A = this chain, B = another copy of it.
């Protein structure tokens, strides 16, 4: 018994169209950029009148917000889908965790490169509020990573003097660079190499001990 069953046919159509518009906007924004995309481009892509757009979203800005929110939600869900930080109890388990997360992110990215383009390249230049949202997302990522590290320190398989907050952010930076490089050169081998290098860096550093 799904939610849709309780909706009228009309309402289902409405939801569908709304979702189609979101999708079309997502594609257009990612392909041409937010500023280069006119509402009429979105409408044209769907073969609807551009007035119809305004029945579902109040604004160009409004739909961007929804598009970005959707992406953020998806990213957050992807990362939180993994076990909770305190589910990891050993360095070995942590390495596996890292690998799994790397794979998940890689899958998301591969399946939908536009996500990265939109959130990393486009959304940064809308206005202060949108920038703030992105910064918050990055911050959230840092906190999440930090939580794993705090757990690792507590359980003793990470350095006692590890600055978890800062290191968390650093890790996010490395993830960002993965996404950026993927955008400019979507080569699975490079992605793979980058992922491994990051995991090695994390665990072992680069120096000889």
Contacts and interface: CB of A to CB of B under 8 A. Distances in A.
Contact of A131 (B121, B163, B172, B197): B121
Identical copies of this chain, number:
4
A205 interface: yes
A166 B149 CA distance: 23
B135 A180 contact: yes
Contacts of A131: 121, 183-184
Interface of A: 33-36, 91, 120-122, 124-127, 131-132, 135, 138-139, 149, 152, 156-159, 162-163, 165-167, 169-170, 172-178, 180-181, 183-184, 190, 193-194, 196-198, 200-209
A-B pairs, 7 with minimum CB distance: A173-B177, A166-B197, A205-B205, A135-B184, A121-B124, A173-B173, A125-B125
